C-alpha cells in the first residue's frame, strides 16, 4: 500500500502546520441530485450491456459482462457450462509452470451450485440482475463463505467463514458466480503483490509471468487479466486496486471516501467486525466509502476503500452501481448521496475541464509520458478542455499518507505483531516495526497535512472536473487515499516491451460519475488490445 522507499519521515517534524488535523477525510456532499434525471442508472446500465460487444472488433479483446450476457441470452452457453470451463481452467492454473496463483481458494461444488441456480433462472426468464451468471472473485481480505478469511497470512482464518461480507452477499443476491477468493499481499502491506508464504505464493502477471502483478489486490487483477472472470473486487489504501489493475492492463476503480462523520454518531454502539465485541462509534473502525466494507478486515480506518477491477470501464460502472448502496451494517455509508451514472454515455466530453499539473505529470518514464500525453490530446479532441493546475505539497502528502496508513495498521495489528511476528513475511515485519517508530505527534502532524491537502483539492475542483496523471506505482496513487477522492485507472497502451500503460482520472468527492464518463472515452484511445501471454477464453 505504500512505497518501499521508506525515507524522509523527518519532513513532517520539520514543518510548522497550523491547520487543525483531519483524522477522517470527511467532506459533505456538494453533488446536487437531479430528481428529474432523464436517464436512470438502470437505463444507463441497459445501454452499456446492450451495446455492441468489443469482441466484435478485429483482434483480441477481453471478454466482459456483455459477452457473457450475449452467450446466456442467445443460448450459446449456460452459466453451468461456463462454470465447468472455469473449474477446468482453475485446475490448469494450479498445474502450470509457474502457477498463476490468482485464485488461492476455490471450491468446485460451490461454483457449480451458483451456476446451476443461474442456469435455471435464465431458463425460466427470471434473472436477478445483469450480473446473473457472471463469474467474479473477491480479494481474500473479504469474508466469503465457505473460504478461510486469511487476509494473505498463514495465521488468520483458521476456520471456514460462515457469514459473507456485505459485498459478497450483494454479489450473490445479484446472481453472480463467486469462483473463489483471490491472492493478496500479506495484510495489504505492499504494492508488488509478492506473498511467498505457503498458502499464497507469488501471483504472476498475465502479460509476463516473470513480473509482478502489483498489489495489494494482486490476485484480483491477475484473475481478470487472465480471463478467469471479468469482475474482481479489491481494496485500495494506497493504490491497491489501481496499481495491480494498471500493471495487469485492466480497469480499476477506487471509490470516494466518507460522508460527514457527525451524521453517524447517532448510532450508540456498533459491532466489532473482527473480535465480535460491542464498541462505541468513536473507537477504531474499518474502512469507509461508497461501497460497504462490512466483513473485511479493518486495516486502516482513514485510507482504505473498496473497488472493482474489470475488463472495461462499462463493467466497472455496472458493478459500482450495484455495490454502491447504503448498508445498515455499515453506518458510515448511510448518509451518502445517491450513486449516479448521469451523463456517462454522453457522446462527447464537451463542457468538461480536465486539470493537469504538468510538473507532476511528467515525473515518469519518457515512454509512459509520450503515451499519456497523446491520451490527453485524445480527450481534448472529444471536446474536453485541459486546464493547467498545481498540486502543491505532494511530497508532504506522500509522507503524511504513509505515516497515517502505517500507524493505523500498526494500531490494529498490535496483537498480531506481538503474537504472530515470526509467522509474518519479512516485509510485513519491517513495515510494522517501522510504524512503531512513529509518535503521536507524527500522526497528528500528518493529519494536519491532510487538512491542507484536502483544502488544496477543494480549490482545484472549483475550477476543473477531473485531475489526470500517469500511473507509476505509488507516485500518483497516495493523494486519492489520503484525501478521500475517487480515482479510476484505464489502460491506454503498451510499452515497447509489451507491458500495459495506464492513465489515472481523479474527481472530487462523490463524483464517480464524471470518472466513468471520462474513462469510457479514454479507453477508446487504445487502438489495439494485446493478448496477455496467460489468457483463458472461458467462452470459447
Active site residues: 139, 216, 240
CA distance 42 to 100: 36
271: Cβ contacts below 8 Å, ≥ 6 apart: 277, 278, 329
CA distance 505 to 487: 6
CA distance 524 to 125: 34
Q: Are 109 and 180 in contact (CB under 8 A)?
A: no
CA distance 304 to 327: 17
CA distance 36 to 33: 9
DSSP 190: -
Closest CA to 491 of 362, 368, 364: 368
**135-139 vs 177-182, strand pairing mode:** parallel
CA distance 512 to 507: 7
CA-to-CA dists, residue 290 to 8, 228, 294, 323, angstroms: 33, 26, 12, 8
Closest CA to 300 of 432, 179, 426: 432
Residue bearing cell 451450485? 113
Sheet holding 231-236, edge to edge: 103-105, 177-182, 135-139, 231-236, 305-310, 251-254, 487-494, 500-507, 466-470, 353-356, 385-388
Amino acid at each position: 500500500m505504500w512505497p518501499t522507499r521508506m525515507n524522509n519521515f523527518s519532513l513532517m517534524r520539520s514543518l510548522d502546520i497550523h491547520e487543525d488535523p483531519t483524522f477522517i477525510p470527511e467532506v459533505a456532499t456538494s453533488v446536487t441530485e437531479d430528481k428529474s434525471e432523464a436517464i436512470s442508472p438502470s437505463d444507463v446500465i441497459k445501454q452499456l450491456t446492450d451495446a455492441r460487444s468489443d469482441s466484435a472488433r478485429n483482434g483480441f479483446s477481453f471478454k466482459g459482462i456483455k459477452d457473457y450476457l450475449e452467450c446466456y441470452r442467445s443460448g450459446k452457453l449456460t452459466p453451468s457450462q461456463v462454470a465447468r470451463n472455469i473449474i477446468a481452467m482453475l485446475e490448469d492454473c494450479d498445474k502450470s509452470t509457474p502457477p498463476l496463483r490468482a485464485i488461492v481458494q476455490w471450491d468446485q461444488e460451490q461454483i457449480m451450485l451458483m451456476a446451476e441456480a443461474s442456469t435455471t433462472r435464465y431458463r425460466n426468464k427470471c434473472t436477478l440482475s445483469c450480473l446473473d451468471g457472471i463469474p467474479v472473485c473477491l480479494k481474500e481480505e473479504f469474508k466469503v463463505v465457505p473460504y478461510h478469511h486469511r487476509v494473505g497470512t498463514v495465521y488468520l482464518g483458521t476456520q471456514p467463514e460462515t457469514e459473507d461480507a456485505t459485498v459478497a452477499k450483494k454479489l450473490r443476491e445479484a446472481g453472480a458466480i463467486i469462483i473463489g477468493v483471490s491472492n493478496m499481499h500479506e495484510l495489504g502491506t505492499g504494492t508488488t503483490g509478492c506473498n511467498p508464504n505457503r498458502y499464497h505464493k507469488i501471483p504472476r502477471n498475465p502479460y509476463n509471468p516473470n513480473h509482478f502483478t502489483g498489489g495489494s489486490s494482486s490476485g484480483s487483477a491477475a484473475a481478470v487479466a487472465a480471463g478467469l472472470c471479468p469482475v474482481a473486487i479489491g481494496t485500495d489504501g494506497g493504490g491497491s486496486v489501481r496499481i495491480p489493475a494498471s500493471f495487469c492492463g485492466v480497469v480499476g476503480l477506487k471509490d470516494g471516501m466518507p460522508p460527514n462523520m457527525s451524521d453517524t454518531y447517532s448510532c450508540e454502539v456498533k459491532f466489532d467486525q473482527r473480535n465480535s465485541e460491542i464498541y462505541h462509534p468513536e473507537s477504531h473502525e474499518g474502512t469507509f466509502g461508497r461501497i460497504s466494507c462490512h466483513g473485511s478486515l479493518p486495516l486502516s480506518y482513514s485510507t482504505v476503500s473498496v473497488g472493482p477491477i474489470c475488463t472495461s470501464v462499462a463493467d466497472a460502472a455496472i458493478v459500482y452501481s450495484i455495490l454502491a448502496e447504503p448498508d445498515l451494517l455499515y453506518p458510515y455509508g448511510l448518509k451518502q448521496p445517491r450513486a449516479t451514472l448521469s451523463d456517462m454515455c454522453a457522446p462527447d466530453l464537451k463542457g468538461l475541464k480536465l486539470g493537469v499539473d504538468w510538473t507532476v505529470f511528467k515525473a515518469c518514464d519518457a515512454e509512459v509520458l509520450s503515451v499519456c500525453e497523446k491520451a490527453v490530446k485524445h480527450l481534448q479532441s472529444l471536446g474536453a478542455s485541459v486546464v493547467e493546475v498545481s498540486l502543491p505539497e505532494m511530497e508532504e502528502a506522500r509522507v503524511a499518507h504513509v505515516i497515517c496508513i502505517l500507524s493505523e495498521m500498526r494500531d490494529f495489528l498490535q496483537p498480531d505483531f506481538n503474537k504472530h511476528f515470526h509467522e509474518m513475511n519479512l516485509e510485513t515485519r519491517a513495515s510494522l516495526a517501522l510504524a512503531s517508530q512513529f509518535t503521536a505527534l507524527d500522526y497528528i502532524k500528518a493529519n494536519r497535512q491532510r487538512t491542507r491537502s484536502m483544502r488544496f483539492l477543494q480549490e482545484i475542483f472549483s475550477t476543473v472536473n477531473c485531475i489526470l496523471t500517469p500511473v507509476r506505482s505509488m507516485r500518483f496513487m497516495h493523494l486519492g487515499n489520503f484525501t478521500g477522492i475517487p480515482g479510476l485507472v484505464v489502460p491506454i497502451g503498451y510499452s515497447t516491451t509489451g507491458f500495459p500503460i495506464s492513465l489515472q482520472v481523479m474527481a472530487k468527492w462523490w463524483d464517480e460519475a464524471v470518472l466513468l464518463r471520462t474513462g469510457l472515452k479514454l479507453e477508446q484511445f487504445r487502438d489495439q488490445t494485446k493478448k496477455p501471454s496467460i489468457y483463458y477464453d472461458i467462452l470459447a
